Chains A and B, each alone.
Chain A
Amino acid sequence: MKYLYVYPEKCTGCRECSIACSLTKFGECNPKKAAITIVRDEFYRYEFPIVCFQCEDPVCLKFCHQNAYHVIDGIVIRDEDKCIGCRLCATLCPYNAVTSIDDEIIKCDLCNGDPKCVKYCSTGAIQYLDETKELEKRRKDMAEKFLEINKS
């Protein structure tokens, strides 16, 4: 199974990933209307891509009253027809990886196996890789690191 892996040390903050995502999904260039978000602050000196980790036990799915979320082939998919736009998933996601803007809920679906964010990244800061033990460990390290930041 392939998933997204992020390497913040390689991220330059340009947001081509987010813009490509919004252009693909909505036909517009808008880094805030994307399933991937680059959190950046040049004064605090960081750039950090936030992606959906496609959790094995996803909070978005667990708490959705409408059962709009399903795991299909390891990917957490939101069913737009069932979704009532309550934004609970966006509020509860521990990684803030579900975006809510303009009455839209945006959840990464890995672009049917061809994630645009990866394609338009020029530094390899986001990669779409087969799940291996090593990468899996890295993914979890990253998630824990992020949760720590989130707490503070």
Chain B
Amino acid sequence: MFSGKLGIIDLSKKKVNLTQTPESLKKLYFGGRGLNSYYLYNYIKPDIDPFSPENVLIFGTGFLTGTLVPNSSRFNVSAKSPETGILGDSNCGGYFAAEMRYAGFDRLVIKGKAKKPSYLYLTDNKIEIMDARDYWGLDTTDIQQALRNDLGHVEVACCGIAGENLVRFACVRTGVKNAAGRCGLGAVMGSKHLKAIAVRGTQGIQIKYPEEMLETVEQLKDYIMNSKITSILGSVGTPLLYEVSNTLGAIRTKNSQLNAWSERLNAEEIEKHVEKMISCSSCIVHCRHRNMLGGEGPEYTAVGLLGANLGIEDPAEVIELNNVCNELGLDISSSGTILAWAFELYEKGIIDNSLTGEELCFGDFQLAKKLLHKISRREGFGNILAESTKNIARFGEKSKDYLIAVKGLPQSDPHDCRYIKAFALGIATSSRGADHLRSRPTLEIFLKLPKEVKEKIYGKGIPNDPTSYISKEKTIYFSDNIFAVIDSLGVCKFICHGFNSPHFVDYTWMKKLVHCASAWDVSEKELEEVGKRVIDIERMFNNREGISRKDDTLPKRYFDEPMPLNLSKGHHIDRKEFDKLLTRYYKLRDWTNDGQVKKERVKELEAFT
């Protein structure tokens, strides 16, 4: 079958129900993030506590996941986020999702709460709820190896001890470092007493037109492999972005007090610690580093947020912090942002020893490492930091001015968004809070890209100047839509048109790939509609939780403090210009001026079941 099963698991009742997502619904949302968001909107009642059994946790593979389509390794984990209280969703690579499809499953919807620690064991067309008491308390590598010892070569998605202890930014992990990192979904696993999902499948994904897929993929592979960016990503991975942002003066440094940091964290330095570059399932880019310190990574996010943002410049120390986060099951983006926030608050005297129990300062590797361990075990001050951005209530209203977060989600991108205005609009409007993987139009960084190239992608009237507010709503609108589609297809953003390259997989390529896999004829326009639908239903979820225009904003520092260093010196976000940009963005989305999805559209999307 090309279409796999939908497994609905009620952990409270210990019941498993196998069903199927109707084809009509798949045509609207495809899979992955799209269908996950549809189910979240329909299955989660407003105002529930994310840690209650009423929260619904979804593991959804993409429409093309596990196929020959390059980089089709992805799945999304979604639930109401305990970190933000709004839509929680995180996309992840590795080998887990492909294996889920080989076992015959497209998606798992997990409800309720198990009485005792449990894990799910998926084999061909079968789901069992198993006892996980022996695995509770294990780090993420240990549990995965233990499950392989006990069950054979399974692929595993699990939470670490951070998830067990309900750290609000605990991640879901698979393999050595692949993570559905954002929004605290590992803590949702912990709250359900679900330690892991282990899967082993032997079934294939039936392809409608095998010859056509072989031919199309051969052409696509040549096209992608011939790009310079592919070979750079494949040799040094995402850390290449560090130097680009740093030269510009846009690397978040010491909680964005500064905007540039040491060249010791450039990709060529990181590379010295790398043993081999490896891939996720079906991936032809291979951007994953197997490092010499026993783990994988670091990505650009780790280099920025566990390096520059904490005032650390030794690559080996950054890699070690990266590995620690992965073992404990902590989201690196939130970890680096929350620690830096606390460090600055301590420096400024907003919090003191009576709360922290010790002196906090930037640049102290041992301190950072110790705090990560304490957070994961909720010990001492770690128990406070584990509450993430909710600490505004404890630290005081003044602390909010120094928090680099939107809608309660610490910013993932190490890029300081005061210079490139489109980036700022992107993190302000992203459906899960301050996040760059929803809509970042990376091309804005490439200052020398011809105007025609940008206009061809985003539409007429896009100025080449990244600091201009003019028409930037179009770049975010385009990116937000197409990234939602690629997330629904289960293909990595790294080969998505407009993410790292002005080329790669655009709607035309998607149309061909969907056709050879399923025989569905969809037009470019219809694919874009899928993206718009996903963005709208995610917004509907958030509107229902009280999100409106007032929440589509930026950290105070981005508005009020000009950047101090390098090319971007003096730049900040102008409140009035930003407000106008937001208005134009809503108009393009056809949302109300208050950022609400219009009633007719809500009605339309609610009618599809």
Contact of A91 with B by CB under 8 A: no
Q: CB-CB < 8 A to A76: which residues of B? A: none
Contact of B221 with A by CB under 8 A: yes
Interface string of B188-215 (1 = CB under 8 A from A): 0000000000000011111100100110
Contact of B241 with A by CB under 8 A: no
Q: CB-CB < 8 A to B176: which residues of A? A: 42-43
Nearest A residue to B284, CB-CB = A122
Q: A13-B279, A42-B296 are in contact. Are A120 and B225 (CB under 8 A)?
A: no
Contact of A29 with B by CB under 8 A: yes
Q: Which residues in chain A, 15-51, are within 8 Å of chain B measured between CB atoms?
A: 15-16, 19-20, 22-24, 26-33, 41-43, 45, 47
Contact of A12 with B by CB under 8 A: yes
Contact of B130 with A by CB under 8 A: no
- Residue pair A123, B68 in contact (C-beta under 8 Å): no
- Residue pair B207, A28 in contact (C-beta under 8 Å): yes
Contact of B217 with A by CB under 8 A: yes
- For the complex, give the distance between the alpha carbons of A30 and B598 in Å: 44
- Residue pair A22, B204 in contact (C-beta under 8 Å): yes
A52 to chain B, nearest CB (A): 20
- For the complex, give the distance between the alpha carbons of A124 and B277 in Å: 14
Contact of A78 with B by CB under 8 A: no
Q: CB-CB < 8 A to B288: which residues of A? A: 12
Interface string of A116-148 (1 = CB under 8 A from B): 100110110000000000000000000000000
In the complex, number of A-B residue pairs with CB atoms less than 8 Å apart: 90
Contact of B90 with A by CB under 8 A: no
- Residue pair A45, B290 in contact (C-beta under 8 Å): yes
Q: CB-CB < 8 A to A20: which residues of B? A: 68, 214, 217
Among B204, B213, B280, the residue within 8 A (CB) of A14 is B280
What band does the interface of chain B fall in when counting residues whose beta carbon is under 8 Å from A? Answer: 35 or more
Q: A28-B204, A30-B203 are in contact. Are A122 and B68 (CB under 8 A)?
A: no
Output the residue of A9, A15, A19, A45 with the most chain B CB within 10 A: A19
B285 to chain A, nearest CB (A): 8
| Total A residues in contact with B, Cβ cutoff 8 Å | 31
Q: A16-B284, A22-B204 are in contact. Are A30 and B102 (CB under 8 A)?
A: yes
- Residue pair A23, B210 in contact (C-beta under 8 Å): yes
B292 to chain A, nearest CB (A): 10
- Residue pair B290, A27 in contact (C-beta under 8 Å): no
- Residue pair B214, A30 in contact (C-beta under 8 Å): no
- Residue pair B102, A14 in contact (C-beta under 8 Å): no
- Residue pair B281, A29 in contact (C-beta under 8 Å): no
- Residue pair A15, B281 in contact (C-beta under 8 Å): yes
- For the complex, give the distance between the alpha carbons of A152 and B442 in Å: 49
Interface string of A41-73 (1 = CB under 8 A from B): 111010100000000000000000000000000
- Residue pair B277, A29 in contact (C-beta under 8 Å): no
Q: A9-B276, A29-B204, A42-B278 are in contact. Are A24 and B283 (CB under 8 A)?
A: no
- Residue pair A122, B213 in contact (C-beta under 8 Å): no
Contact of A81 with B by CB under 8 A: no
- For the complex, give the distance between the alpha carbons of A43 and B327 in Å: 12
Contact of B426 with A by CB under 8 A: no
- Residue pair B282, A12 in contact (C-beta under 8 Å): no
Ordered by A's residue number, 25 sampled pairs between the chains whose C-beta atoms are within 8 Å are A12-B276, A12-B279, A12-B286, A12-B288, A14-B281, A16-B284, A20-B68, A24-B210, A27-B210, A29-B68, A29-B204, A30-B202, A30-B203, A30-B205, A31-B98, A31-B102, A41-B153, A42-B278, A43-B144, A43-B176, A45-B276, A45-B290, A119-B218, A122-B284, A123-B286
